[in-house]
């Protein structure tokens, strides 16, 4: 929620200075500002490397291997500076708010040290009332990433690390990145560069208030679907420099629909210092917030005003939505596999999801329009949930605002990722750091109705990390217990299916996955030739070589799935074939999971976007150009889907292909009087055509309807279409490239390795 009396201290009128250092233990003082090696213009929110590129001090780090030229940046101390005048309107109190500093920082105001911090997601709020003058200077000191904390290992852990290095192919068992609560992807990932960011990456504000400051508001709705009212528990975090009576005025007004505003007034007595006041209000004739495919994402604007005597002391406003989220047992599922069916406002929701990674490796430069463009693409692809992956971020507020407006569900993870044989630190300072950062993340996202799940993180053992998870779970529930909390992903019935791709398994093996929820699966493919030309040098463009490897191609695996023993003579052919295989794999997996609806209650493919130009699993490349797989996802995530089930193999011309027709309906309405057209087409020429009448499709259902046989055409490139209409409405238009098939298979060793990998995360 946002203060009415706030001024953004953002833009390109900051400056940034640096000094090369050799000792990261020195804390520094404000006097250090005078000894900078160089100063240049800076933009906040932003990032040190982004400013250096803008100033011409670094080349474009996203092109070729240019990122290697920026490593010196990590070995410096960095000082941000912002000068501003006192606002024309005077207030009793002033506060500086910084919503995200990356990573080890000290904050100074008019030469006075306000505080120091380790972390990336903590909201910093400083009372600067006594320090304000007509002309003011805000400084933030940030240590270079070469001086980040490192793991301190016991003798047994050091021994285990040496053994694990061999087992994990050179990957550390206790990586130093896990000593930080920093965006883990920035240490280098299989789709992202080693680009260890520093900077003021989120909003900075000056806030004015009266005697009583309203620091935060949390709203917890209690939704009862059969009633015509909703109770809301409103929790106000106050800080007062006086003790005395206070009037609390709350107003709820429709934000995206027409309706009357409702006002609630309370009298309170505030104490001097910090305190929390809770009040319950009842909203009459409420409109609930719904996922976009189940109804309207109705939003209210909540305005909270504090009146001290006759004066407005402070005011906060923001969007809220009324919704109820629970998890239910899957169909035919044993109790020990967990409850993996999302139930929103009493209605089951099959998750047609995608994994969301940071929009940019230099996350400070991401703006509202970047989120808007990508979320629009996600919704147009019929995606209803985005998993904010644990190796990434708590995104900026615009992400959650847009998702809430668009009815997009969000699964929010915390910054703990990929510790397979080892575990995270368990010392008390690290656990306190984890509690602090997790608390700030939850406080940032809890009021947004799009936030429907919290998850401890990605791909680690909940058993070995039980102490950490216990602290995380307690922290989450103490702030927001209105939505489910999962210890980790995967966990008890949730699947990360990397047997296909990392295990070299056949794509048809997706059909053997009997999980209750599929939160990761996918194949790599390169982006379009046009995109490749934007980040690979002319010399490095073709054939595949060092620059491709730097931009994360997994060449052996991509070769395995794009056509073993196939020599590609042209770049265009390589891109086309690999993108067709990626699309085929996602179609195969998603249709399998959707046919098993509520035995499996969701599919979230890996991955939707990417943070830098790469050969990755994304369906949208860094430049926002969709791959072929994006268009395939759009088809197979249609709320009403016609799914043709046939044996996945190579067919010979004239061979009869038995096909079973399934129809999946994720809508809450029954569909009647449908016409199903199935036809084979080659460049506009109809090779065969069948038509069937479907009398009725039940709501929220998945079942087989009919079978037919197809004589395989003697054509090199043809497509099989399945189009479903009801009267004049096109409900689904699915398409199959039956000339794409996977001849490979996993070795026995890969099957054993995949099984062992699953055991490490138990």
How confident is the model over 121-134, as pLDDT tens digits?
999 999 999 999 99
Structural domain of 727: 640-736
Torsion of CA 610, 614, 615, 620, to 10 degrees: 40
Instruction: Tell me which residue of 435, 414, 428 sits closest to 485, measured CA to CA.
Output: 414
- Lowest mean pLDDT across 28-32, 534-538, 667-671: 28-32
Cβ atoms within 10 Å, residue 683: 8
Q: Do 699 and 597 share a structural domain? A: no
Q: Quote the pLDDT of residue 158.
A: 75
628-660 tens-digit pLDDT: 999 999 999 999 999 999 999 999 999 999 999
Torsion of CA 714, 718, 720, 723, to 10 degrees: -140
- Residues shown for the chain: 762
Tell whether 221 is covered by a domain: no
Q: Do 630 and 714 share a structural domain? A: no
Instruction: Tell me which residue of 121, 109, 58, 122 sits closest to 80, measured CA to CA.
Output: 109
Q: Do 110 and 98 share a structural domain? A: yes
- As a whole number, mean pLDDT of residues 193-208 equals 97
- As a whole number, mean pLDDT of residues 581-607 equals 98
Distances from the Cα of 351 to the Cαs of 199, 246, 603, in angstroms?
Answer: 35, 45, 6
Kindly tell me if the per-residue pLDDT of 495 is higher than 80: yes
CA angle 74, 80, 86 (to 5 degrees): 170
CA angle 322, 328, 330 (to 5 degrees): 140
Q: Quote the pLDDT of residue 168.
A: 66
Distance of alpha carbon 359 from alpha carbon 653, whole angstroms: 45
Q: Do 548 and 410 share a structural domain? A: yes
528-564 tens-digit pLDDT: 999 999 999 999 999 999 999 999 999 999 999 987 5
Cβ atoms within 10 Å, residue 334: 10
Distance of alpha carbon 606 from alpha carbon 727, whole angstroms: 36
DSSP 607-630: -S--SSS-SBS-SB-TTSPBPHHH
Distance, C-alpha 597 to centroid of its chain: 24
Q: Do 426 and 561 share a structural domain? A: yes
As for how many domains the chain has, the answer is 3
Q: Do 624 and 660 share a structural domain? A: no
147-179 tens-digit pLDDT: 999 988 787 777 777 776 666 666 777 788 999
Quick one: residue 585, left, alpha or beta (phi over 0 = left, psi -120 to 50 = alpha)? alpha
Tell whether 161 is covered by a domain: no
Tell whether 244 is covered by a domain: no
382-399 tens-digit pLDDT: 999 999 999 999 999 999
Kindly tell me if the per-residue pLDDT of 109 is higher than 70: yes
Q: Quote the pLDDT of residue 156.
A: 76
Partnered with residue 273 across adjacent β-strands are 240
Residue 368 belongs to a domain with what CATH number? Answer: 3.20.20.80
Q: Quote the pLDDT of residue 352.
A: 99
Tell whether 206 is covered by a domain: no
Tell whether 118 is covered by a domain: yes
Under 8 Å between Cβ of 608 and 619: yes
Under 8 Å between Cβ of 514 and 593: no
Torsion of CA 694, 697, 701, 702, to 10 degrees: 10
> What pTM, to 2 d.p., does this model score?
0.96
- Which of 603, 621, 636 is at the close of a domain? 636
Q: Which residue has the tokens 């940019």?
A: 360
Q: Quote the pLDDT of residue 28.
A: 80
- Which of 636, 661, 685 is at the close of a domain? 636
Kindly tell me if the per-residue pLDDT of 462 is higher than 60: yes
DSSP 647-682: --S---TT-EEEEEEEEEE-SSS-EEEEEEEEEEEE
236-251 tens-digit pLDDT: 999 999 999 999 999 9
Find out whether the peptide bond into 714 is cis, omega within 30 degrees of 0: no
Distance of alpha carbon 354 from alpha carbon 104, whole angstroms: 32
Find out whether the peptide bond into 267 is cis, omega within 30 degrees of 0: no
Distance of alpha carbon 286 from alpha carbon 257, whole angstroms: 12
Q: Do 108 and 38 share a structural domain? A: yes
Tokens, residue 574: 């390589």
Q: Could you give the angle at which helices 428-445 and 466-479 cross, rounded to 10 degrees?
A: 30
Listed in sequence order, the residues at least 6 apart from 187 whose beta carbon sits closer than 8 Å to its beta carbon are 175, 176, 177, 194, 196
Q: Do 675 and 526 share a structural domain? A: no
Q: Quote the pLDDT of residue 744.
A: 83
Give the chain's radius of gyration (CA, Å): 27
Tell whether 67 is covered by a domain: yes
419-455 tens-digit pLDDT: 988 899 999 999 999 999 999 999 999 999 999 999 9
Tokens, residue 202: 């989120």
Give per-residue burial for 610-627: e unless 16+ CB within 10 Å, then b. bbbbbbbbbbbbbeeebb
- As a whole number, mean pLDDT of residues 495-503 equals 96
> What order do you get walking across the sheet with 76-85 strand by strand?
38-44, 11-20, 76-85, 135-143, 104-109, 112-118
Under 8 Å between Cβ of 606 and 355: yes
Torsion of CA 477, 481, 486, 488, to 10 degrees: -40
Q: Quote the pLDDT of residue 165.
A: 67
CA angle 398, 399, 404 (to 5 degrees): 95
Torsion of CA 658, 664, 670, 673, to 10 degrees: -30
Distance of alpha carbon 308 from alpha carbon 270, whole angstroms: 10
Q: Quote the pLDDT of residue 676.
A: 97
Q: Do 496 and 644 share a structural domain? A: no
Q: Do 708 and 619 share a structural domain? A: no
Q: Quote the pLDDT of residue 90.
A: 84
Whole-number percent of the chain with pLDDT over 70: 98
- Lowest mean pLDDT across 72-76, 541-545, 554-558, 757-761: 757-761
Tokens, residue 46: 């932003």
Q: Quote the pLDDT of residue 213.
A: 98
Helices (H), 457-553: 466-479, 529-535, 546-550
Distance of alpha carbon 432 from alpha carbon 231, whole angstroms: 34
Distances from the Cα of 424 to the Cαs of 102, 184, 459, 467, in angstroms?
Answer: 20, 13, 12, 10
Residue 654 belongs to a domain with what CATH number? Answer: 2.60.40.10
Kindly tell me if the per-residue pLDDT of 406 is higher than 80: yes
Pairing of strands 341-344, 347-349: antiparallel
336-373 tens-digit pLDDT: 777 999 999 999 999 999 999 999 999 999 999 999 99
| pLDDT-based confidence at residue 26 (cuts at 50, 70, 90) | low
Q: Quote the pLDDT of residue 315.
A: 97
SS3 714: coil
Residue 33 belongs to a domain with what CATH number? Answer: 2.60.120.260
212-244 tens-digit pLDDT: 999 999 999 987 766 788 999 999 999 999 999
Q: Quote the pLDDT of residue 170.
A: 64
Tell whether 101 is covered by a domain: yes
Q: Do 390 and 337 share a structural domain? A: yes
Distances from the Cα of 277 to the Cαs of 218, 242, 521, in angstroms?
Answer: 11, 16, 45
- Which of 636, 669, 692 is at the close of a domain? 636
Tokens, residue 416: 């703990």
Instruction: Tell me which residue of 266, 286, 287, 292 sits closest to 277, measured CA to CA.
Output: 266
Tell whether 91 is covered by a domain: yes
Distance of alpha carbon 315 from alpha carbon 79, whole angstroms: 33
Kindly tell me if the per-residue pLDDT of 489 is higher than 70: yes
Q: Quote the pLDDT of residue 174.
A: 76
Q: Do 84 and 36 share a structural domain? A: yes
- Lowest mean pLDDT across 171-180, 265-274, 451-460, 712-721: 171-180
| pLDDT-based confidence at residue 146 (cuts at 50, 70, 90) | very high
Q: Quote the pLDDT of residue 565.
A: 53
């Amino acid at each position: 929620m946002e203060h009415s009396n706030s001024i953004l201290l953002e833009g390109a009128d900051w400056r940034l200075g640096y000094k090369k250092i050799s000792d990261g233990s020195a804390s520094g003082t404000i006097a250090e500002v005078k000894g900078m090696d160089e100063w240049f213009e800076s933009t906040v929110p932003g990032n040190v490397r982004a400013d250096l590129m803008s100033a011409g001090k670094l080349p474009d780090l996203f092109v070729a291997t240019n990122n290697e030229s920026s490593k010196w940046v990590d070995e410096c101390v960095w000082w941000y500076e912002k000068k501003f005048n006192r606002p024309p309107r005077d207030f009793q109190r002033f506060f500086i708010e910084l919503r995200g500093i990356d990573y080890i920082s000290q904050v100074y105001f008019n030469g006075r040290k306000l505080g120091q911090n380790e972390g990336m997601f903590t909201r910093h709020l400083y009372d600067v009332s006594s320090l304000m003058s007509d002309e003011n200077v805000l400084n933030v000191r940030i240590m270079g990433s070469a001086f980040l904390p490192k793991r301190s290992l016991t003798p047994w852990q050091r021994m285990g690390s040496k053994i694990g290095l061999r087992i994990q192919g050179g990957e550390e068992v206790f990586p130093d990145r896990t000593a930080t609560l920093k965006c883990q992807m920035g240490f280098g990932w299989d789709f992202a560069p080693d680009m260890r960011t520093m900077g003021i990456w989120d909003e900075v504000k000056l806030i004015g208030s009266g005697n009583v400051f309203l620091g935060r508001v949390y709203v917890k709705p209690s939704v009862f679907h059969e009633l015509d009212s909703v109770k809301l528990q409103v929790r106000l975090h106050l800080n007062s420099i006086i003790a005395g009576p206070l009037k609390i005025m709350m107003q709820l007004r429709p934000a995206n629909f027409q309706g009357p505003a409702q006002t609630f007034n309370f009298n309170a007595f505030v104490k001097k210092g910090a305190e929390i006041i809770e009040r319950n209000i009842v909203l009459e004739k409420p409109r609930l917030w719904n996922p976009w495919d189940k109804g309207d994402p109705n939003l209210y604007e909540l305005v909270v005003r504090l009146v001290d005597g006759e004066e407005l002391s402070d005011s906060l406003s923001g969007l809220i939505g009324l919704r109820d989220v629970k998890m239910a047992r899957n169909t035919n599922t044993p109790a020990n596999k967990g409850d993996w069916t999302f139930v929103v406002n009493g209605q089951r929701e099959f998750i047609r999801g995608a994994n969301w990674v940071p929009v940019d490796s230099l996350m400070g430069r991401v703006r509202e329009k970047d989120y808007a463009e990508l979320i629009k693409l996600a919704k147009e692809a019929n995606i209803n949930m985005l998993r904010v992956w644990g190796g990434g971020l708590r995104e900026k507020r615009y992400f959650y605002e847009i998702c809430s407006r668009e009815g997009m569900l969000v699964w929010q993870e915390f910054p703990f990722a990929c510790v397979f044989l080892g575990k995270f630190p368990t010392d008390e300072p690290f656990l306190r750091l984890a509690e602090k950062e997790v608390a700030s993340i939850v406080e940032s996202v809890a009021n947004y109705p799009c936030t429907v799940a919290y998850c401890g993180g990605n791909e680690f053992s909940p058993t070995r990390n039980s102490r950490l998870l216990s602290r995380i779970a307690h922290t989450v529930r103490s702030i927001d217990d209105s939505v489910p909390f999962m210890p980790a992903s995967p966990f008890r019935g949730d699947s990360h299916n990397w047997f296909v791709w990392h295990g070299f398994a056949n794509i048809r093996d997706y059909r053997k996955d009997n999980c209750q929820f599929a939160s990761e699966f996918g194949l790599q493919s390169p982006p379009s030739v046009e995109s490749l030309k934007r980040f690979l040098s002319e010399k490095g463009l073709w054939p595949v070589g060092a620059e491709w490897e730097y931009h994360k191609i997994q060449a052996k695996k991509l070769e395995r799935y794009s056509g073993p023993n196939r020599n590609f003579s042209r770049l265009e052919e390589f891109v086309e074939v690999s993108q067709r295989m990626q699309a085929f794999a996602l179609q195969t997996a998603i249709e399998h999971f959707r046919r098993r609806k509520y035995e499996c209650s969701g599919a979230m493919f890996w991955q939707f976007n990417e943070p830098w130009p790469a050969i990755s699993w994304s369906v949208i490349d860094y430049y926002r150009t969709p791959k072929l797989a994006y268009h395939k996802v759009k088809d197979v995530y249609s709320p009403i889907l016609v799914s043709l089930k046939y044996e996945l193999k190579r067919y010979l011309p004239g061979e009869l292909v038995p096909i079973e027709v399934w129809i999946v309906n994720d809508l809450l309405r029954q569909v009647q009087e449908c016409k199903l057209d199935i036809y084979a087409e080659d460049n506009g020429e109809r090779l065969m055509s069948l038509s069937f009448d479907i009398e009725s499709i039940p709501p929220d259902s998945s079942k087989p309807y009919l079978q037919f046989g197809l004589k395989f055409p003697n054509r090199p490139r043809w497509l099989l279409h399945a189009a479903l209409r009801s009267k004049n409405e096109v409900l689904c238009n699915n398409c199959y490239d039956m000339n794409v098939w996977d001849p490979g298979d996993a070795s026995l060793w890969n099957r054993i390795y995949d099984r062992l990998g699953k055991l490490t995360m138990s």
